[in-house]
Every structure is written in C-alpha cells, then in structure tokens.
Copies of this chain bind each other. A is one copy, B any other.
Amino acid sequence: MGNVLPAAPLATGAGFAYGRDPGWFERAKGAVMRLSNYFLPTLKETPAGADVVSHQLMLRAGMIEQISSGIYNWLPLGARVLRKIEAIVREEQDRAGCQEVLLSLIQPADLWRESGRYEDYGREMLRIQDRHEREMLFGPTNEEQITDVFRHHVRGYRELPKVLYQIQWKFRDEVRPRFGVMRGREFLMKDAYSFDLDKEGAQRTYNRMFVAYLRTFARMGLTAIPMRAETGPIGGDQSHEFIILADTGESVVYCHRDWLEADFLAEDADAEDPAALVERWTRTYAATEDMHDPARADELGDALIERRGIEVGHIFYFGTKYSAPMNARVNAPDGSKVPVEMGSYGIGVSRLVGAIIEASHDDSGIVWPEPVAPFHVGIVNIKTGDETCDSVAEDLYRRLQEAGVEVLYDDRTEERPGAKFADMDLIGLPWQVVVGPKGVQNGVVELKYRRTGEREEMTPETALARLCRPC
C-alpha cells in the first residue's frame, strides 16, 4: 500500500464482475496435489479394533482417525470423498425442488417435549445443560425443529408443497458404536422434510423424493435397492429403505437377481411421472428380513437371492405425527385449519463413505467409483530423481491439471516403487499412470485402470488424450 490504488467498484453497472481474475474458479476446479506435500498417513498394517473392511481401509488409507468411541476426525483424503458425496446429494436435492436450510446443532429440549419424544428417545440422545442450566440437546434428528420453523412462517395452502433439506451433523449416543463411520455417534446426514396439504400431495412428494434417491445413489455408482420398511421411532404410514448389497452388510436382505443389473441412470427420469417410476422400481421383489414375504419370494424360484445389505437412505411419510401435537396447521381451501402432512427423507452422507467402500474394494484396497473418487488420476513416478522420469511425470501432472483433471502425483523420494504401488492401490483412484525409467527410455508410460487391473503401455500423449477426453 502506501500508494493505494483507486478501487474499481465491484460492479460497474454493466454486467457482472466477479473480481478481476476469472481464472480463480478455473484453477480451483481441478484440484491437484503432490503426495510429498499431502497429509496422507497411510498404514501398512491393519489396525486393531476395526471390525469391517471399510473401517480397516479408511484407517489404512489415512482417511479418518478415531478420537473417541464412534467419533472420527476426517483427514484430507476422507474429507475430499465426503465433500464429493455431499455435492452429489445437494445437486440432486436441488434438482428435485428441495430448498437447503441449516438447522442448529443444539436444540432446546422443550421442542421435543411438545412432540412427546423427549423422554421416548432415551439415552441415545445427547442431553446438555448450558451455562444458564437450560436443557438442550445435540440433535439426533430434526422433525421437531423443522415443524417449529414451518409453523412460525407458513399460513396457507397456496404456500405448499415445500421440501426443506439440510446437510448437517447429527449425534446419536449409540451404546456400542461400530463399523467405523457406518455406525458412529457423530455423523453427517442429509435430512429433508416435506410439507403438503393432503395425503395425495404428500404421496406425490414422497414419489418425487423416491426418484431423487434412486438417481442420487446411481450417480455415485451404487445400486441402492428400495425396500419397504418399518417406520420405527420416526413413526408413520409408509417408508422405504434404500439398501446397497455388500457381503459385510449389517442385515440380511432378499431380492430378485435382476436387481444386480439394475441401472436407474438408464431411465429418462425427467420425462416420466414419478408415480410410474416408483411403481416400476418397486415391482421387482426386494425386502429386508423384517418385511420378507416367503410366500411371494417362493414364486421367484432361482431368481431369488439372499444377500447382506447396508442402508444408505430411508424415507418416511408420517402424516400429522408431529404437525398435530405441535400445532403446525395451514388454512385449507375450504377455510378450515388442518395439520400439515409431513414426510422425512434421510441419506447417511458420512455412512456412504464406508458403504461405498464395502461395496467396492478388493484385496489391495479401495476401488472408488469415479464420481466420488478423491482424485481421478494418480501419477506414480517410480524413480523420483531420475531426470527423464521427473520430466515426464511433471509434464503429465501439469497438463492434467491444466485440463481440469484431479490428480495426485506420487513424487516421494524416500519410498520404494513397491510401497508407491501399494499406496496407490490402497487409496483406490480410478486411474494410475506409472512413469518408470525403462518405459520413458522407450517413450512410454503405463496406464492402469484400478477396477480391473488392466494395464497398457502408451505414449504420454496417448495417456493424456485418454484421461482428458470428456473433461
């Protein structure tokens, strides 16, 4: 400073000016990282006390670290995956016409007394007294809180329907937390709440959310099978769980083998009536153990399969369970005041990180579906310090970055090639480019597709063209 330049106004009156450097956003898009700088504390040994493979792999891949029973810190690699899942969930909620809010983590106990759940919820609810000895709690879910928001502001049927959602931390003081982030105490959840005038409207909203859920999970590379479910402590009339199949799943599920090949992304979901989509996607048999119907299942014969499953989403239509006791009413067209019809819709955002790994790993480590991979390409320089290897690898790194591809470059000097390969397989990036001294003498690098292990030698130019194609 000293000679302070005159400030140009942020907007000049003609069009936008998002700051003087439009390149910022571009550069931020394709995040890149050198492994020598990255905080990626991988472990060679499987840590004790991790009971399922996703928990083991998340610890070994340096994604998380436990700080207390069922409570985790998310390290950079884990945080990246969490943010990617969060972004997909947000986009699909927005696309379905939901509006994002953020409800406070700490809630007053009195709200829960109104619904009658304060005592019901038991010791799983983390109860807190503040400095003025007010009874508070760390929210395990938010039906009461959102009903309170609604009743303060919405008066008439013309304002309906509405779906509000948030992506926010929750706390449930599980007596025995386990399965790593899949049944932790503190967890990140997307929870949406819907408000409709009547049952027909509520059913339409339920169907719309059902379709949004199929799409959300499909975009993550998952087949999440909708299964009719018990409504449990949320209460209500109708409920579906969305369950992905994994050998290490927490519960037994039964379904038609067609589900193994189901592909919701092949649907033109925008063009079709949600009710028809729901009808089509609930026609094929699928049931949790609780809801299993042996008679109907017998009809499937050989086509019936029994697997283990992990719940990644759960939707509920519960009518006036909260709106009636909490007096959340709207003026109906006939002039009467009626309690609003509600539903709630959860996705376990942090749980999904573990669930995806359960569904997608091999003996060498994680195999990320591309839409949620922390980086898309890993470059392995197997002889850092060798002039040609460094030059080829650095050039690839720079050019992938310029193309907006997310790259992690293993430029470490102190690790042997075997350790680099093992780490790269462990963290499961979809694509690896291996740069070694023999190859570069012949003008080639090796491109490896992590999921199948396929490898192919090619020139760096060809590798770039393959990796950048649709970027």
Contact = CB atoms under 8 A, between A and B. Distances in A.
Contacts of A471: 16
Interface string A148-189: 110011100010001010100101010100000000011000
A20 to B, nearest CB: 5
Interface stretch (A34-42, A203-211, A246-254, A432-440): A34-42
Interface stretch (A89-97, A321-329, A339-347, A378-386): A89-97
A238 B126 CA distance: 38
Interface residues of A, number: 115
Interface stretch (A49-57, A105-113, A306-314): A105-113
Contact of A261 (B6, B103, B169): B6
A91 B6 contact: no
B7 A261 contact: yes
A73 B145 contact: yes
A108 to B, nearest CB: 5
B123 A131 contact: yes
A280 interface: yes
Contacts of A8: 263, 266
A169 B167 CA distance: 13
A265 B148 CA distance: 43
A421 interface: no
B19 A219 contact: yes
A311 B366 CA distance: 44
Contacts of A22: 470
Contacts of A467: 15-16
A123 B132 CA distance: 10
Contacts of A370: 10-11, 16-18
A80 B74 CA distance: 25
A138, A148, A449 interface centre (most CB from chain B within 10 Å)? A138
Contacts of A283: 1-2
B74 A101 contact: yes
A1 B82 contact: no
A414 interface: yes
Contacts of A71: 104, 106
A101, A158, A266, A369 interface centre (most CB from chain B within 10 Å)? A101
A4, A24, A370, A414 interface centre (most CB from chain B within 10 Å)? A4
A22 to B, nearest CB: 7
Contact of A148 (B67, B164, B186): B67
21 contacts: A1-B259, A1-B280, A1-B281, A2-B258, A4-B284, A5-B263, A7-B263, A16-B467, A16-B470, A21-B265, A28-B94, A67-B145, A68-B107, A71-B104, A71-B106, A72-B104, A73-B149, A75-B101, A76-B164, A123-B131, A130-B173
Interface of A: 1-2, 4-8, 10-11, 13-22, 24-25, 27-28, 31, 33, 36-39, 41, 62, 65, 67-68, 71-76, 78-80, 82-83, 91, 94-95, 97, 99-108, 123-124, 126, 128, 130-131, 134, 136, 138, 145, 148-149, 152-154, 158, 162, 164, 166, 169, 171, 173, 175, 185-186, 218-219, 221, 223, 258-259, 261-263, 265-266, 280-281, 283-284, 369-371, 376, 414, 430, 449, 451-452, 454, 466-471
Given A16-B471, A28-B94, A76-B100, 4 more contacts: A21-B265, A39-B101, A123-B131, A138-B138
